[in-house]
C-alpha cells in the first residue's frame, strides 16, 4: 500500500523511488561536493523563530486569502508568498503533461509559474494550457512569467522574448548567474542526456539540436556553448528595448550586485544560488538575504523593487523566516519536481497545499496577524520574529 505523503520530504522520497536514476540525479544534484546544497536547507534550520502568543489570529482560519501577497507593484497576486521557480525539462518527471501540468497546478494553487527557457514544452503550449485552466478556475489570479537565458545568438533570444510576451507571459526572469553551467558531477557520471522522445522545445524550434554525449553531460556542454559569458548590466538596457515586460534578475548573492541591479532599473531580484547547482561553498541564500534587503531598501527608487528568494525552502516555517527577513515571496524549485513526478498536476497541487498549510500554521503559532510587506523592514512588526546566528558562518 502507498505510504501517506504528509510533508515535502515524503514527496522527495516517493519521487526518488519512481524516477530513473539519471533523471532523479539531474533534479537533485548540486555543484561539486554539494555542500551548499545541504547548507541551503540547513541554514533555515539554524535560524530560530520567536513565537508571540495570545494574539488574535482567528482570521487566518476563516480567510483563505489571509496570507495573499501583491507583487510587481500591484500587477500580480498570489494566494501566499510562494511562486514556482523555473526548472528545466518537466516532461522527464511527467512525460505526458510536463510543463503543462505545472502550469495547471499554478492556476489551481493560485500563484505564479516561472517557465524555464529549457522547457520540454513549447512556450505557446504552456500558455494555452494555463489559459484553459484559468477558465476552469476563474477565481485564480495565477500568471505565467518567463525565465530567460540570454544566449549568444541575440536574434534568437529576441524571438524567444517576443514569443513569451505574445503568449501572455507577464514578466521576464533573467538568470544572471550562469555565464557557464556548474560542475554537476552526478550528471557527468550518468552521462546525462534528455530521453529520446523529448526536446528542449524552445531551442529546437530555432534549429538548435542537442548534441549526443558519451562520457560527459552532453546537454550541459551543448548549453554551455550557447550561454553568453559577455553579459553585463548594460544588457538589461538592451532587454528593455525589445520588451516592455517587468524584468526580474535571478541569481543575486551579494549586496553589491543587488545595488547594481536596482541601478539598472530592474523590477525585482531573486536572491538565489541556482539551487546550489552553479558554484559550491557559496553562502546559503537565506544567510545573505539580510545584507541584500538592507542594501536594496537603502536605495531610493520610484517603484518598489521586489525581493524574492529561492534555495532550500522545504517547510512552511522557512517561508515565514524568509518573509520576516524581508523577502516578498519565495520560489521553490525541486519540491515542484517531486510533486510532478509523484502525481503530475495533482502532485504539484498537493505539495503546494502542504506548504500553504504549514505556512499558515506557522503564521498563526507565531502570532502574526498579517505579513510584513517587505517594503519597510525597520518598521515591520516582525523585525524581531526571527533570530539569526551571530556569525553567518
List the single partner that 32 binds among a copy of itself, ligand FMN, none, CB under 5 to 8 Å by kind.
a copy of itself
CA distance 148 to 143: 16
Nearer CB in complex with ligand FMN: 40/110:
40
Catalytic, 384? Answer no
- Determine the 3-state secondary structure of 148 from DSSP: strand
CB 253 within 8 A of CB 273: yes
Binder of ligand FMN out of 36, 101, 140, 272 (CB under 6 A):
272
Nearer CB in complex with a copy of itself: 22/279:
279
For residue 234, the Cα-to-chain-centroid distance in whole angstroms is 24
Binder of ligand FMN out of 77, 90, 184, 250 (CB under 6 A):
250
H or E element: which one contains 234? helix 234-242
Part in contact with ligand FMN (CB under 6 A); list of ranges 55-63, 95-103, 255-263, 304-312: 304-312
Binder of ligand FMN out of 175, 220, 282, 380 (CB under 6 A):
175
Residues 6+ apart with CB under 8 A from 229: 179, 180
Task: For residue 315, give the nearest of 49, 53, 15 by alpha carbon.
Answer: 49
CA distances from 33 to 29, 280, 367 (A): 10, 7, 39
For residue 118, the Cα-to-chain-centroid distance in whole angstroms is 14
CA distance 369 to 352: 22
Q: Compute the least distance from the CB of residue 256 to a copy of itself, in Å.
A: 7
Binder of ligand FMN out of 274, 304, 315, 356 (CB under 6 A):
274
Nearer CB in complex with ligand FMN: 257/310:
310
Part in contact with ligand FMN (CB under 6 A); list of ranges 179-187, 228-236, 306-314, 355-363: 306-314
Q: Would you name the residues annotated as active-site residues?
A: 274
Contact residues: ligand FMN, CB under 6 A: 26-27, 40, 85-88, 116, 118, 147, 175, 250, 272, 274-275, 277, 310-313, 332-334
Amino acid at each position: 500500500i502507498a505510504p501517506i505523503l504528509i510533508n515535502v520530504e515524503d514527496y522527495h522520497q516517493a519521487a526518488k523511488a519512481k524516477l530513473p536514476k539519471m533523471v532523479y540525479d539531474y533534479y537533485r544534484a548540486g555543484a561539486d561536493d554539494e555542500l551548499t546544497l545541504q547548507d541551503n536547507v540547513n541554514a533555515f534550520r539554524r535560524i530560530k523563530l520567536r513565537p508571540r502568543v495570545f494574539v488574535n489570529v482567528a482570521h487566518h482560519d476563516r480567510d483563505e486569502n489571509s496570507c495573499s501577497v501583491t507583487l510587481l507593484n500591484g500587477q500580480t497576486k498570489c494566494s501566499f508568498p510562494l511562486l514556482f521557480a523555473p526548472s528545466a525539462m518537466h516532461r522527464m518527471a511527467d512525460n505526458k503533461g510536463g510543463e503543462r501540468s505545472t502550469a495547471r497546478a499554478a492556476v489551481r494553487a493560485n500563484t505564479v509559474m516561472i517557465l524555464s527557457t529549457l522547457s520540454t514544452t513549447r512556450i505557446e503550449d504552456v500558455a494555452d494550457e494555463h489559459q484553459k485552466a484559468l477558465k476552469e478556475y476563474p477565481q485564480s489570479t495565477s500568471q505565467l512569467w518567463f525565465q530567460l537565458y540570454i544566449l549568444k545568438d541575440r536574434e534568437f533570444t529576441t524571438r524567444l522574448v517576443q514569443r513569451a510576451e505574445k503568449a501572455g507571459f507577464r514578466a521576464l526572469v533573467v538568470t544572471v548567474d550562469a555565464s557557464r553551467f556548474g560542475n554537476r558531477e552526478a550528471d557527468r557520471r550518468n552521462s546525462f542526456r534528455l530521453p529520446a522522445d523529448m526536446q528542449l522545445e524552445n531551442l529546437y524550434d530555432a534549429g538548435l539540436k542537442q548534441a549526443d554525449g558519451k562520457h560527459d553531460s552532453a546537454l550541459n556542454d551543448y548549453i554551455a556553448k550557447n550561454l553568453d559569458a559577455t553579459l553585463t548590466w548594460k544588457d538589461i538596457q538592451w532587454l528593455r528595448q525589445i520588451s516592455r515586460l517587468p524584468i526580474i534578475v535571478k541569481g543575486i548573492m551579494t549586496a553589491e550586485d543587488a545595488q547594481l541591479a536596482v541601478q539598472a532599473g530592474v523590477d525585482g531580484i531573486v536572491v538565489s544560488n541556482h539551487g546550489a547547482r552553479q558554484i559550491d561553498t557559496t553562502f546559503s541564500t537565506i544567510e545573505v538575504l539580510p545584507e541584500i534587503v538592507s542594501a536594496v531598501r537603502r536605495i531610493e527608487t520610484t517603484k518598489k523593487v521586489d525581493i524574492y528568494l529561492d534555495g532550500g525552502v522545504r517547510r512552511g516555517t522557512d517561508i515565514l523566516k524568509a518573509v520576516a527577513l524581508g523577502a516578498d515571496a519565495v520560489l521553490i524549485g525541486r519540491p515542484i519536481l517531486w510533486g510532478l513526478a509523484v502525481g503530475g498536476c495533482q502532485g504539484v497541487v498537493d505539495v503546494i497545499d502542504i506548504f500553504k498549510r504549514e505556512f499558515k500554521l506557522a503564521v498563526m503559532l507565531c502570532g502574526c496577524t498579517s505579513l510584513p510587506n517587505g517594503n519597510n523592514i525597520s518598521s515591520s512588526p516582525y523585525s524581531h520574529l526571527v533570530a539569526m546566528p551571530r556569525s553567518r558562518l
